Structure 1
């Protein structure tokens, strides 16, 4: 198997292209490959069947908190400044890939500069614009102007500025932009980051939904009966990107990573392994933070693998640096652990725990800090749950009921909490 060093520019060998796709509000229970029973996602099913599926990937409960982690490789207590904002002093995954020699592109949802209300909540601070985050080119919804994200979307591009695409469909516009970027850069290493708008509300018709052509977004429909169609269209878009890579003959030198940014919307209930699972976006329970993560790299990642090791969103930046062969040159603090050696079958450092500092400064969500492994979860206040048997965290386990082994696990998790700043 190849190691990261094989792709170093010092050896004049081109590193693999990287496509990172992040669905919006997509919990683990929604995909068939994870046991979901409600939606058809054949393209994602195929990526999983021909790649590696991580069974224990954890986000934070909300979009901005997860995106800041992913972009910087740091836990939120180090650099989170407010909902909808990315600290402009932070160096990002875009900077890392650009400095590694990649052409960089982002399309989809930004939401990291902040609107007036978000900036006010952050004490007047502003966030980061995409061109200042290491991206050569972009087409994005919600950079500085919100507008619609689906039908007749308002988008901003580096080349053309702000525009409304009358009767267009935002997700199609983003994928077309990505397809063009891939084609133009097929002979050079490229990095595509696609933070999707789908399947975030409002729940509205897609171009494949009967009646879409006459649908008026100004009616402000938000009907969960459309969620099924939105799931299918999300999967369709992923299929388009994979097909473009296949058609250009660069699949063997392109790694595709797919994740969800947090749990499913609370208005959506899905069937999973014979059970009803209510989305818990915003909350720190399993259905709010347990998300899908699929890695596919034809010819390098062995097909059909189910990886039980823990992953969290701080792990993506060090992993991409590892893939690019430039991790040793990155001088910023990183809390993450590279999962790249796990993809290639090489000896790998794996996690015993994941940590979350969650203080979004948004809505009704209060500050919470916890650390967990695949079975046990400890909150800062000392509350201890078995998340395998109690995923909704209804029954905290008192210390008097713990075995010696379980007490040892709790002590180890407490040591991790003690290491993390609580400023």
Structure 2
């Protein structure tokens, strides 16, 4: 009897009270990262954001099964945005001219590569230099438009693409298809390794031209066709390519170990007006209203990020690099300064440090767009010239608020943003000395 009781106690101890002790899953290894950046792609284009003009089923599904950020702000133009997200720094620290990044800078790809990731980029480069420069910034492999030649018309049909070398004309090809094919092949070849993929799409920047899924693609004139009629097809083709990337990861059973982030680089072209549930939105790329810098941001990591969650936290593009470090479990190098802060806790459904404001030192250093410095909350925006807007209720910023008539709470916001502006002006002035 005693022996049977002792045996039962030993069995119960080894199995737990209600059966075998559950095996704890080990902490996941640092995941792969795929960052997709659409060109001239404002917040209003995605169905999940209230867009009505375009069918975006893959992005909508990504939002439905992942996390959607409602208040992400880029710079209003492509090169300034790219410098911010790649380096984690405000433009006054490293933006010297349009289409250029000084090789003294380090990018998120450098940090991933230093941590043992294999890296690739495909799509739009626009940062000057040749193949050696791309590799210098941390990319092992690349398939890029505008690396050594920058003709406006050569990004879509019959593109000039540089694949790990100088560019070559690809007759009969469609640039975005070639870029995605390159990246999906890279993923398949490196599926047993940690990888970082950066896909700065050429879509949906003009020239507005037919895509391969419509009959006009076969016969249109490449040099000269720039018709906004085709913008709808371009948005929907960009969505299709996002789906192809996700489907490839799924087919290789990599979705549970790959973080996918999608964003737009700045607002939609001024030539495009889109319908939304809130009314029509005319794109304002290059300018500092919300239609110029409010962009979509989606994060999906199967089995890890919460599903169908919308976060209201402010995010700006200096936050991308520190978020990447968090995703990979990396520490910021001691000698590497960043202006941004990670939004990874929010993407994982956790509480974290929230931004009270976003700051922008926008100087495109081109003649077609004005330079403006500003700081904003989710509702208010203060410019360096003193203009103060309730941009939530005045999105076109037509009616500056009277500073003598501000309520007590609004005055506090104004004072807070004034301090932000003064702080960064002081830092900018020190760099110029």
TM-score normalised according to structure 2 size: 0.90
| Structure 2 residues without counterparts, runs of 5 or longer | 1-25
1:157 to 163, 167, 173: 163
Distance 2:239 2:217 in 1: 18
Contact 2:58-2:239 at 8 Å conserved across structures: yes
1:173 to 169, 173, 178: 178
Distance 1:313 1:128 in 2: 26
Question: Is 1:202 paired with 2:207?
Answer: yes
- The residue that corresponds to 1:221 in the other structure is 225
Contact 1:88-1:127 at 8 Å conserved across structures: no
What are the residue-to-residue correspondences of 1:253-402 with 2, within 5 Å? Answer: 253-329=257-333, 331-402=335-406
- The residue that corresponds to 2:50 in the other structure is 35
Structure (1 or 2) with the larger CA radius of gyration: 2
Mean Cα displacement is larger for which, 349-358 or 328-337? 328-337
TM-score normalised according to structure 1 size: 0.92
Question: How many angstroms does 1:215 deviate by?
Answer: 2.2
Question: How many angstroms does 1:127 deviate by?
Answer: 12
Distance 2:61 2:83 in 1: 29
**What is the aligned residue count?**
400
Q: What is the Cα-based RMSD across aligned positions, in Å?
A: 1.6
CA spacing shift, 1:351–1:12, aligned 2, 3 Å: closer
Question: Is 1:92 paired with 2:107?
Answer: yes
Distance 2:334 2:197 in 1: 20
CA spacing shift, 1:312–1:128, aligned 2, 3 Å: farther
Mean Cα displacement is larger for which, 147-156 or 160-169? 160-169
What are the residue-to-residue correspondences of 1:20-59 with 2, within 5 Å? Answer: 20-59=35-74
Distance 2:356 2:85 in 1: 19
- The residue that corresponds to 1:16 in the other structure is 31
- The residue that corresponds to 1:250 in the other structure is 254
Mean Cα displacement is larger for which, 193-202 or 328-337? 328-337
CA deviations over 1:34-78 (Å, ceiling 9, x no partner): 111100000000000000000000001100000000110000011
Contact 1:129-1:143 at 8 Å conserved across structures: no
- Partner of 2:359, secondary structure, is strand
Distance 1:12 1:48 in 2: 25
Distance 2:327 2:278 in 1: 38
| Structure 1 residues without counterparts, runs of 5 or longer | 1-10, 115-125
Distance 2:307 2:232 in 1: 28
Contact 1:85-1:128 at 8 Å conserved across structures: no
